[in-house]
């Protein structure tokens, strides 16, 4: 379900968090559905249970999942709130970051569009 890279420069907690968020955005994890217990996921990935617990807590702080000691962790229903100005600025910034790198690496405009459309479909189509 998730694959982590011990040699990557990005922290394990963040790798786990990012991939779970992607699964949530793609609809692979539906609201109400339980996430694996921290010990199980930690065992599968070969990391400490705290590392998974921290990823869960980060996602909970973003309102994406809800966790309760002794009971487990479940996916929360998707927020229907419209994003604010700060969120828009952050999104533009993150996109600029990705596109500027792509530009410098030699990707062309149409290639870029193709990759974008694929990702867009992945996360917006029915997800």
Partner DNA sequence: TGCGATTGTATCAAAGTATGATACTATTCG
Partner DNA sequence: CGAATAGTATCATACTTTGATACAATCGCA
Binding site for DNA (CB under 7 A): 9, 11-14, 35, 37-40, 47-51, 53-54, 56-57, 67-73
Nearer residue to DNA within complex by CB, 39 or 113: 39
- Taking the complex as a whole, the smallest distance from the CB of residue 104 to its own copies amounts, in Å, to 5
- Taking the complex as a whole, the smallest distance from the CB of residue 10 to DNA amounts, in Å, to 8
Q: Give contact residues for its own copies (rule: CB under 8 A).
A: 18, 21-22, 24-26, 62, 64, 78-83, 87-88, 91-92, 94-107, 109, 112-113, 115-116, 118-120, 122-124, 127
Helix (H) or strand (E) holding 16: helix 12-25
Nearer residue to DNA within complex by CB, 44 or 116: 44
Q: Give the Cα separation of 73 and 96 in Å (integer).
A: 34
Helix, strand, coil tally for the chain in percent (to 5): 55, 5, 35
Q: Give the Cα separation of 73 and 39 in Å (integer).
A: 12
- Taking the complex as a whole, the smallest distance from the CB of residue 61 to DNA amounts, in Å, to 11
Q: Give the Cα separation of 64 and 39 in Å (integer).
A: 20
Nearest to 13 by CA among 38, 33, 36: 38
């Amino acid at each position: 379900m998730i694959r982590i890279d011990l040699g990557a420069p990005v922290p394990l907690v963040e790798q786990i968090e990012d991939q779970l968020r992607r699964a949530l955005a793609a609809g692979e994890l539906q609201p109400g559905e339980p996430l694996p217990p921290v010990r199980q996921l930690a065992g599968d990935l070969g990391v400490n249970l705290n590392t998974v617990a921290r990823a869960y807590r980060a996602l909970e702080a973003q309102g994406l999942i809800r966790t309760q000691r002794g009971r487990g962790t479940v996916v929360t229903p998707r927020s229907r709130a419209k994003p604010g100005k700060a969120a828009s600025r952050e999104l533009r910034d993150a996109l600029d970051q990705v596109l500027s790198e792509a530009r410098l690496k030699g990707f062309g405009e149409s290639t870029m569009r193709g990759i974008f459309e694929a990702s867009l479909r992945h996360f917006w189509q029915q997800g």
